[in-house]
Structure 1
Amino acid sequence: MRGVRRRAGWAWAVKTRAGRPGRGRWPGEGRGVGAQQPQAGADDQAGQLRRVLTSRGYLGMLGVSVLVGAPVSLAAFGFVGLEHELQHWVWESLPDAAGFDRAPWWWPLPALLLAGLLLAPVVTRLPGHGGHTPVLGLGGPPTQPLEVPGVVLAALACLPLGTVLGPEAPLMAIGSGLALLAVRSAKRAAQPKLGVILGMAGSTAAISTIFGSPIVAAVMVIEAAGLGGPQLAVLLLPCLLASGVGALVFTGFGHWTGLSVGALALPAQPPSGVPDPGDFLWGVPVAVLVAVVVVTGQRVGHRVAAFTGARATGPRIVLCAVAVGACIAAYALVTGRSPEEAALSGQATLGALAANPHAWSVGALVALVAFKGLGWSVALGSLRGGPIFPAVLIGAAIGVACGGLPGFGIQPGLAAGLAAAGAAITGLPVTSTVLAAALLGGEAADSTPLLIVAAVTAFVTGELLRGRRPGVKAAAPPHAAEEAEGASA
């Protein structure tokens, strides 16, 4: 799997079609991305970009992007706020009401059984099947408005009950589908690029702060699209506007309501210093180890996806959900710690791990990687949610567990694990470096060289491992390439 890298959905935004009179032409119109083209001079490219940016159609789309950002972000804020409150109720309020100090070790078993029972009819009966399978990454064509209710129901059935997945994929799908509501279906059919770019703008608005910074979403758009020059500016501006408005809405409503959206963040980190040779000496093999673990999990996810998609999809989804619950329960039973640490997306556990890494023994961290990793692998191929957040926690746990090696340290291990896990799961090393730097905050300046080396090492390792097994790649959902070609006709 190549994560979100070069998905057909991203490529749609720059595919070709005939321009409408008086609306300006897109850079490279009439030619597909990557096609052999005459080399245009700098003046030609600059003039081409000016014509597009000043065209009435493009200026109108920028205006729509700004208008779309606010309602999409309000909807996303409501979704993540509700999901966070349900999660608190399931894992804290209910155990307390039942007389437990914390969720007992067996708590994930009935919780995940209920998740599977709720998810199965959504996947088998509703339009859109509750969103695409997480092992396929975050890419693909824009979510249609008719599919949004199924995505919301699937996410609320899975995420609060302990599914080892994150909220990023459902948020992007919700943002994409709601953004398309701003454009009439007839107009989207006549202008495929308009729908795709607005869908991407809605996605970036929805996840503008869930990654800890709206810049991360913007960088993801740049790197996943694989573009440069005028095409990059045309694609990026609507996404930047929508994500900026989305971040403003998230921040304002979070302060006004007092609700938490559970953004990926580290409230505190171990103090860092200037990286020394020992950090790089150990950082490279740690990044390789993280990539091996992540890619292995993806391979298991592909096998699980084949299992659930073969036949009897509903019962098999329930069976996989129970298997995820068993992995979480096994972690609590083996370590004597709360099952909540291995359940859910891992955002809270990541913050606790970074703030007090000495609270975990090496054995507990190994158990967290093993049991949460196995549960994550099963969930990737059967349930609904995002693949990135749990992978980041797994990478951080590996890095902290290796922090006691001679000449290494907990903070360098944490930094290397964060960057390596992001690059391994997404296939986007630049995005992963920016995400890790945003998480580390003030500690990122000294750690940046190590972040870059770890991200590149994990990316290369992941690509080499996937290259040996072409069957595990899932470059796009079925028929996406054909649909993209049809959109460019």
Structure 2
Amino acid sequence: MAQDTMQQAPASPATPARDLLPLVLPALVVGAGSSLLYLGVSELATLLQHVLWGSLPDALGIGPYSVLWMLVVLTVTGVLVGLVVWKAPGHAGPDPATVGLSSTNPLPPGVVPGLLVAGMLMLAGGPSLGPENPVLVSNVALAFWLGRRLAPRLPGDAWASLAESATIGALFGTPVAAALLLSEALAGKPVRGMLWDNVFGPLIAAAMGALTTSLLARRTFDLDLPAFGHPHWQDLLCAMAVASAGALLAMMAVYALPYVHGAFGRLRHPMVALPVGGLVLGILGAIGGRLTLFKGLDEVAELARNPDGWSAGQFADMAVVKLAALVVAASCGFRGGRIFPAVFIGAALGLCAHAAVPAVHPALGVAAGVLGVLLAVTRAGWLSLFTAALLAPSPDVLALLCIASLPAWLLVTGRPQMQLREDGTSVR
């Protein structure tokens, strides 16, 4: 009976090549443009960061990462971002706590400058958020606005899809992450044609975005951790334990987000909430140290260069402080994303496990920790698995991560997500 049913099921007709070819040029243009915007914002933020945390304190004779300087810079960053959110058109985009990784409703182009300035100030000033949301939302808005004028025959949602995929490709330096996210988003939805037809244009945009980033910036997620050898049964137990611990740790932040967001919401004005948030982040930075500042990707590389350079307690402190900083930064109104800080949290947790139990290989610990934390923060299984495997590229590690993702997923599925609705309640 099942075989008869399968034979009777209508097959999805493939999309003719003449319908796919018009996507190629727009995908290439959007891919390159999305990467250039990301690299431009990142470069400007890096230059400003060098001034704030290098040239300026040196000229004043102050330690760049002294407690006083952390409090001053992060509080001033809150003031500047608060001013942009208050006065910029569209208030520099939506509340970041209510925004996920995808951007379903393109913003008016007039909102983009304020959003990019707020994101650049945040990246330079040290709050624990990444560039992904401001850059992605801006790319979608610009691609939608320009695309509808230059090529009106292409539907608006196609431009948004191209920009999202291009940005993910640019951020990760590979189109695979975008393809996995798109495949996951299409699962369970009625799609026209075959799956590969639907990812054709976005995959070209993601590849062009990744290639542009790689050619111009030569960035990589490979942390050059000690090579993982032949796996043993205890490695599977370690991976499952660390991934589950990462999921549980990150779920604490998920459950705390509505309450912390509500507390900052009661301050009502961005010129109050953001400076107060910056001050709190400065205190957290003083507790956790300089590695718990900023988006976290460069800091993860520093941890990975010396996985035995800190004690288990120090790694644990950094993971917990970074997690608290992520919740505060996302709650008080700083414009930024949550993926890159989550990678730092997972990496610090994995190295904590290695320091506490030397049998946990550092590469496996980092990958499993990142996997668990990202599953809780993003609920994107493919993205979490891919990012974790990208940090410690090894077929054996990937096999272990696939199994370790199962208990970690059971701990997070069906529970609140790290994203809020407009009324402040958690998305489920």
Measured in 2, the distance between the counterparts of 1:268 and 1:44 equals 45
Q: Distance in 2 between matches of 1:54 and 1:214?
A: 24
| Distance change >3 Å, CA 187–CA 117, structure 1 → 2 | same
Give the structure 1 partner of residue 228 of structure 2.
272
Q: List per-residue Cα deviations over 1:381-411 (Å, max 9, x = no partner).
A: 1221010111111111111111132643323
Classify the secondary structure of the residue corresponding to 1:278.
helix
1:214 partnered with 2:175? yes
Quick one: structure 1 residues 391 and 203, their matched pair in 2 at CA, closer, same or farther if it must change by over 3 Å? same
Matched, 1:395 2:346: yes
Write the mapping of 1:405-416 to structure 2, written as runs, cut at 5 A: 405=357, 407-416=359-368
**For 2:15, which of 22, 34, 50 is the aligned residue?**
50
Distance 1:292 1:313, change over 3 A: farther
Letter in 1 for 2:88: L
Task: Please give the secondary structure, in 2, of the residue aligned with 1:160.
Answer: helix
Alignment-derived partner of residue 202 in structure 2: 239
Counterpart of 1:345, as a letter, is K
Which residue, out of 189, 205, 212, partners 1:249?
212
Are the counterparts in 2 of residues 266 and 354 from structure 1 also a CA contact under 8 Å? no
Counterparts in 2 of 1:177 and 1:357: CA distance versus 1, 3 Å: same
Q: Which piece of structure 1 moves more, 102-111 or 424-433?
A: 102-111
Q: CA deviation at 1:280?
A: 2.0
Distance 1:97 1:143 in 2: 43
> Which secondary structure state, in structure 2, belongs to the residue aligned with residue 369 of structure 1?
helix
CA distance in 2, matches of 1:323, 1:120: 15
Once residues 96 and 407 of structure 2 are traced to their aligned partners in structure 1, the CA distance between those partners, rounded to angstroms, is 24
Q: Which runs of 4+ in 1 moved over 4 A?
A: 38-44, 185-188, 472-478
CA spacing shift, 1:54–1:326, aligned 2, 3 Å:
same
Distance 1:99-1:317 versus aligned 2 partners, 3 A rule: closer
Q: Find the counterpart in structure 1 of residue 144 from structure 2.
A: 180
Q: Cα distance 1:435–1:39, how it changes in 2: closer, same or farther (>3 A)?
A: same
- The one-character-per-residue Cα deviations of 1:134-191 (angstroms, maximum 9, x if unpaired) are 4342234243222211210110121110010111111211221221132236987xx8
RMSD between superposed Cα atoms in Å? 2.9
Match in the other structure for 2:299: 349
Alignment of 1:107 onto 2:107: no
Alignment of 1:65-104 (within 5 A): 65-99=27-61, 102-104=64-66
The corresponding residue for 1:440 is 392
Q: Residue type matched to 1:387 in 2?
A: R
| Alpha-carbon offset, residue 95 of structure 1 | 3.4
- Aligned residue type for 1:450: L
Q: C-alpha distance in 1, partners of 2:421/2:180? A: 21
Task: Identify the residue that residue 287 of structure 1 maps to in structure 2.
Answer: 243
Do the aligned residues in 1 keep the contact of 2:103 with 2:164 (CA within 8 Å)? no
Gaps of 5+ in 1: 1-37, 256-262, 333-338, 479-489
Q: Aligned letter for 1:430?
A: W
In 1, are the aligned partners of 2:247 and 2:412 still within 8 Å (CA)? Answer: yes
Q: Give 1:367's aligned residue.
A: 317
**Aligned AA (1:428):** A
**Residue 129 of structure 2 aligns with which residue?**
165
384-393 or 166-175, larger mean C-alpha shift: 166-175
Given that residues 134 and 337 in structure 2 are in contact (C-alpha distance below 8 angstroms), is that contact kept between their aligned partners in structure 1? yes
Residues 42 and 120 in structure 2, CA contact (< 8 A), matched pair in contact too: no
**TM-score (normalised: structure 1):** 0.77
The one-letter code of the counterpart of 1:220 is L
Q: Is the 8 A contact 2:92 2:111 kept in 1?
A: yes
- Could you tell me how far 1:267 is from its partner in structure 2? 3.8
Q: Distance in 1 between matches of 2:343 and 2:407?
A: 16
1:123 alignment partner, one of 81, 85, 103 = 85
Tell me, in whole angstroms, the C-alpha distance in 2 between the residues paired with 1:100 and 1:275: 49
Cα gap change, 1:65 to 1:410, in 2 (>3 Å): closer
CA deviation after TM superposition for structure 1 residue 264, in Å = 6.0
Give the % identical residues: 29
Deviation at 1:272, TM superposition (A): 0.9
1:414 CA displacement: 1.5
> Could you say which residue in structure 1 is the equivalent of 2:401?
451
Rate the CA distance shift 1:59–1:212 in 2: closer, same or farther, 3 A: closer
For 1:429, the equivalent position in structure 2 comes to 381
Q: Deviations over 1:212-266 (max 9, x none)?
A: 42321221222233257736334312211111112222233337xxxxxxx5623
Residues 170, 210 of structure 2: 8 Å contact kept = yes
Deviation per residue, 1:56-76 (Å, 9 max, x gap): xx5434432222222332222
Say whether the 8 Å CA contact 2:35–2:166 is kept in structure 1: yes
- Looking at structure 1, the residues matched to 103 and 138 of structure 2 have their Cα atoms a distance apart, in angstroms, of 13
Q: What is the one-letter code of the residue matched to 1:118?
A: L
Which among 143, 155, 163 is matched to residue 194 of structure 1? 155
SS at match of 1:182: helix
Q: 1:42, 1:59 → 2: CA distance?
A: 29
Q: Cα distance 1:180–1:76, how it changes in 2: closer, same or farther (>3 A)?
A: same
Query: SS in structure 2 opposite 1:367?
Result: helix
SS in 1 for 2:125: coil
| In 1: Cα distance, 2:243 partner to 2:194 partner | 33
Mapping for residues 284-363 of structure 1, pairs under 5 Å: 284-310=240-266, 312-314=268-270, 315-332=272-289, 339=290, 341-363=291-313
Confirm or deny: 8 A CA contact 1:165 1:345 kept in the other structure.
yes
- Report how far residue 327 of structure 1 moved: 0.6
Contact kept in structure 2, 1:298 and 1:380, CA below 8 Å: no
Map 1:131-142; keep pairs closer than 5 Å: 131-136=93-98, 137-142=100-105
Return the letter of the residue paired with 2:230: V
The TM-score normalised by the length of structure 2 is 0.87
Q: Give the drift of 1:40.
A: 10
Output the CA distance in 1 between the equivalents of 2:420 and 2:12: 31
- Number of equivalenced pairs: 413
